[in-house]
Amino acid sequence: MDGSSIIFPETEENHALVENVHPGGWLNPEPAHCYNLVVIGAGTAGLVCAAGAASLGAKVALIESHLLGGDCLNYGCVPSKGIIRSSRAIYEARHGDDFGLTGGDGIGIDFAAAMARMRRIRAGLSRHDSARRFRDELGVDVFFGSGSFTGVETIGVEGKTLRFKRAVICTGARAAPPPFPGFAEAGYLTNETVFSLTELPRSLAVIGSGPIGCELAQTFARLGSRVTILERGSHILPREDRDAADIVKNAFIRDGVQLALDTKTISASRKGDKKVIIAEHGGKVIEIAVDEILVGVGRAPNMEGLGLEAAGIAYDPQQGVKVDELLRTSNPRVFAAGDICFPYKFTHTADALARIVIANALFMGRQKSSALVVPWCTYTDPEVAHVGMYEQEAIDRGIPVVTLTVPLADVDRAVLDGESEGFARVHLNKGSDRILGATIVARHAGEMISEVTLAMSSGLGLSAIGRTIHPYPTQAEAIKKLADAYNRTRLTPFVQKILAVWLKWRNG
Ligand SMILES: Cc1cc2nc3c(=O)[nH]c(=O)nc-3n(C[C@H](O)[C@H](O)[C@H](O)COP(=O)(O)OP(=O)(O)OC[C@H]3O[C@@H](n4cnc5c(N)ncnc54)[C@H](O)[C@@H]3O)c2cc1C
């Protein structure tokens, strides 16, 4: 399959992208006698497995049916964060009066230029994932085609058979078709098509208010679409801390995003040049007519045609390939990494799991995926970042928990930056400074959460953060202030009394 037929629009930037991630006229190599590692799927998990194993001296084959880089580069993190940046620039220009900027109301939006910028950056970043780099610099045998197990130690691709000592399934997940009638006929966008738009839809309905739905809803609203989110629950970002989600909700309202909460999508149809969503809200049937529909819910594991049965690999149709905590499948020669097998579907977890596979598959390691401390971030404005447990989760597990919160209004830099809506929150094991989890809502929460993640993964308590000097003024001081808040909880009336007696005695 030639990649150029599926990355639209056909522009110079997209040709440059395809030349890296699915070059025209690519000739698959002759397979080696046997590979230390065959990797199926070249998204983040597959690329990290292949590059890491090859750089340690392994003979590696990498099979990709579509575009190297997978979702993250082509249809996910990279294009979404590219247009989020444009939408922020527009928002700031329009709301600059408080900072001394005038004329914000008259600022125009060039959607096509914002999309072209994203495509240009994506093409530039694709150099890192390029087929030629993997072949020429890393010595990986790169095969384009659909990989399929033909036995317990063989994989077929484009009529060739690859024999392996170890294999790893990294085939990821894709947008699942929406389970509502009429969507296919009405037409809808997913993450695989939305970044190919060249014209801004005047109105857009976003189904689902998870991270993908929320990030893109706010972005398109700021780029000028009339956006409505349809969410069957009563809160956006339903999995996140409720207070965090409420702050994002208020930002959405200011951005003009219409929130249809407690609204169950029933079906869709086409009326003239509009797409009409039929939904149910409060026992009543409502209709929402829009130019485009974006489906932001439902991911399905890519397992079709993989021949898992031929290799004795167990799987679940919804959850994907089954693995133990060493990431081994039910075939002892075959491992899995990334969205295909892990509940936390992020690029950074795909990367972390790939490193575990290299150690366990090739070097008899015993690294466990259950030991990972996994942070994540939703890149709305403000961002919502989280790591570890939520308060309720700790309570449900019977762990005594104390929660401390520092509002960003108490952090000088946040106030100076006009970004004081948000907070840093930490959940501690009661009676100690052991961090169970944390949520940060801030413009750059994704940058700030790593300090807490480092503490958790290194077994450091909140006091260690308290002892760390943070430059003033920074928003990361919010985390240090959490440690100060913890220290204050230790200053009980009894301790205060003892200190007072000590100081009185010292004073003569
Ligand atoms: C809109 C959007 C935004 C996102 N933003 C973020 C973000 O900001 N941060 C973050 O951490 N995560 C984000 N994610 C999630 C992230 O993109 C995924 O978690 C990550 O790409 C998973 O990597 P992977 O290698 O497991 O799978 P994928 O990237 O899906 O790669 C799998 C690859 O396998 C190939 N393949 C499938 N079947 C076969 C076969 N039989 N033979 C050969 N090849 C095959 C596919 O073509 C694909 O290239 C986002 C996702 C979306 C949709």
Which residues make Cβ contacts (< 8 Å) with residue 379, sequence separation at least 6?
80, 81, 84, 211, 215, 446
pTM of the predicted model as reported, rounded to 2 decimal places: 0.97
User: Is the separation of the CB atoms in 280 and 264 below 8 Å?
Assistant: yes
- Provide the token pair at 43: 């998204």
CB 331 within 8 A of CB 244: no
Q: Is the peptide bond before 301 cis (omega within 30 degrees of 0)?
A: no
Q: How would you write 301-361 as a 3-class SS string?
A: ECCCCCCCHHHCCCEECCCEECCCCCCECCCCCEEECCCCCCCCCCHHHHHHHHHHHHHHH
pLDDT digits (tens, 9 = 90+) for 370-419: 999 999 999 999 999 999 999 999 999 999 999 999 999 999 999 999 99
In ligand 1, the atom with minimum distance to the C-alpha of 173 is: 30
Q: Cα dist. 6→14, 30, 142 in Å?
A: 10, 27, 20
Mutate to test the pocket of ligand 1, among 22, 67, 71 (most ligand atoms within 8 A of CB): 71
Nearest protein Cα to ligand 1, atom 7 = 77
Note the pLDDT of residue 6. Answer: 65
CA of residue 48 relative to chain centroid, distance: 17
Report the distance separating Cα 483 and Cα 384, nearest Å.
20
Distance between Cα 356 and ligand 1 center (Å): 18
Which token pair is 205? 């309905």
Nearest ligand 1 atom, CA 216: 1
Asked if 357 contacts 47 with a C-beta cutoff of 8 angstroms, the reply is no
**Residue 429 near residue 485, CB atoms below 8 Å:** no
Whole-number Å distance, alpha carbon 453 to ligand 1 midpoint, is 23
Residue of minimum CA distance from atom 30 in ligand 1: 172
Please give the Cα distance from 321 to 310 (Å, whole number).
14
Atom 15 (ligand 1) nearest CA: 346
Instruction: Give the residue, out of 72, 81, 351, 357, with the most ligand 1 atoms within 8 A of its beta carbon, to mutate for a pocket test.
Output: 72
Which residues, 6+ apart, have CB-to-CB distance to 380 below 8 Å? 214, 215, 218, 248, 251, 252
- Give, using CA atoms, the residue closest to atom 8 of ligand 1: 77
Structure tokens at 80: 């979404």
Q: Is the dihedral of CA 82, 83, 84, 87 positive or negative?
A: positive
Q: Whose CA is nearest to atom 17 of ligand 1?
A: 72
Write the residue with the smallest CA distance to atom 1 of ligand 1: 76
Nearest ligand 1 atom to the CA of 354 is 25
Ligand 1 pocket, Cβ-based, cut-off 6 angstroms: 40-46, 63-67, 70-72, 76-77, 80, 146-147, 170-173, 191, 212, 302, 305-306, 338-340, 345-348, 350, 379
At residue 221, the pLDDT reads 98
Token pair of 199, please? 């014209």
Cis, peptide link before residue 79, omega less than 30° from 0: no
Point out the ligand 1 atom lying closest to the alpha carbon of residue 66.
Answer: 47
Instruction: Give the pLDDT score at 5.
Output: 53
With a cut of 70, list the residues of the chain below it in pLDDT: 1-6
Ligand 1 centre distance from Cα of residue 44 (Å):
7
Cα–ligand 1 centroid distance for 448 (angstroms): 25
φ/ψ of 173, rounded to 5, equals: -140, 165
